[in-house]
Structure 1
Amino acid sequence: MADYPAPYLVEFPRLGAPEIGYISVGENGQDPLPFVVQRVFWTYYTPESIVRGRHAHQRTEQVLIAAAGRITVTTELANGDIQLFRLEDPYVGLYVPPCAWHTMQYSHTAVQLVLASQPYDEADYIRDHNQFRQLWLARS
């Protein structure tokens, strides 16, 4: 089994200035991206009352970025460690390893950009919280 770090914030380079704007860049195989990106997707117009996520992965690593607005992410490891992250700067992402159950709640204007290490595969998703804990506790 691969050994994954706990969720952590990733800061992308912020190039530019207030008078001209900024650009942030992540390139495959180079810092600060911890994996080669195989899939990119984004969510938007999510009502503030909705909690998304509610899953973990078998293999997929992700970096979540609030491209606009604010996203509150809660992560939980199988051992019960819970962390709360507030993403609201477009040059800061959150690394989420496969072994982390995660939920997201959005401001109305939030646009979430997700960089994923694997193509979409429904079999990779663990959508039952008890199954997540049993699977990842058994692997540790």
Structure 2
Amino acid sequence: MTSRLDKCRLIQLPRIQDARGNLTAIEGTDVTGFEIRRVYYLYDVPGGADRGAHAHKALWQLVIAIMGSFDITLDDGERKRTFQLNRGYQGLLICPYIWRELNNFSSGAVCLVLASERYDPTDYIRDYDAFLAAAKAQG
């Protein structure tokens, strides 16, 4: 049986390598599978701080460590899996109804997020028990 957590996966991003520096471009739906409607990034995260601790009802995200490294623990209500992101040419695709927690940010880390929708506070599930109930109801 496939769970929602199995839909979350690392994606190798297009990379053009050059002695002068590398370049990665993300266009249209080619890499993400969704139209990008919002882009944001986390930076200057203090040592020991955690981010995330929520799920989304409809939003898809592609999370990329464009500088430094951090861990993301994904939870579908039954299983958990932790990914370490530390390469600018690799992204983690996260589907709806997945609880996420980001931690272990290295000094100077920058976390880039490409999202399928604009910010909508009603799309967030910020209480873990409410998430468990919602995830179970989704099957």
Q: What's the TM-score once normalised by structure 2's chain length?
A: 0.92
| Secondary structure of residue in 2 paired with 1:138 | helix
Q: Distance in 2 between matches of 1:40 and 1:90?
A: 16
Q: CA RMSD in A?
A: 1.3
| Secondary structure of residue in 2 paired with 1:16 | coil
1:16 aligns with 2:17: yes
- For 1:139, the equivalent position in structure 2 comes to 138
- For the 8 Å contact 1:38–1:117, the answer to whether it is kept is yes
- For the 8 Å contact 1:61–1:96, the answer to whether it is kept is yes
- For the 8 Å contact 1:47–1:107, the answer to whether it is kept is no
- For 1:82, the equivalent position in structure 2 comes to 80
| Secondary structure of residue in 1 paired with 2:132 | helix
- For 2:7, the equivalent position in structure 1 comes to 6
Stretches of structure 2 that go unaligned for 5 or more consecutive residues are none
1:42 Cα offset (Å): 0.4
Q: Distance in 1 between matches of 2:7 and 2:133?
A: 18
- For 1:29, the equivalent position in structure 2 comes to 29
1:25 Cα offset (Å): 1.2
- Report how many residues are paired: 135
Stretches of structure 1 that go unaligned for 5 or more consecutive residues are none
The share of aligned pairs that are identical, in percent, is: 33
| Secondary structure of residue in 2 paired with 1:136 | helix
Amino acid at match of 2:39: V
Cα distance change, pair 53–73 in 1 and its aligned pair in 2 (3 A): same
1:62 aligns with 2:61: yes
- For 1:109, the equivalent position in structure 2 comes to 108
Q: Distance in 2 between matches of 1:8 and 1:133?
A: 21
More strand per residue:
1
Deviation track 1:69-91 (CA, whole Å, cap 9, x = no partner) reads 0011000002x211110000001
Amino acid at match of 1:45: D
1:35 Cα offset (Å): 0.9
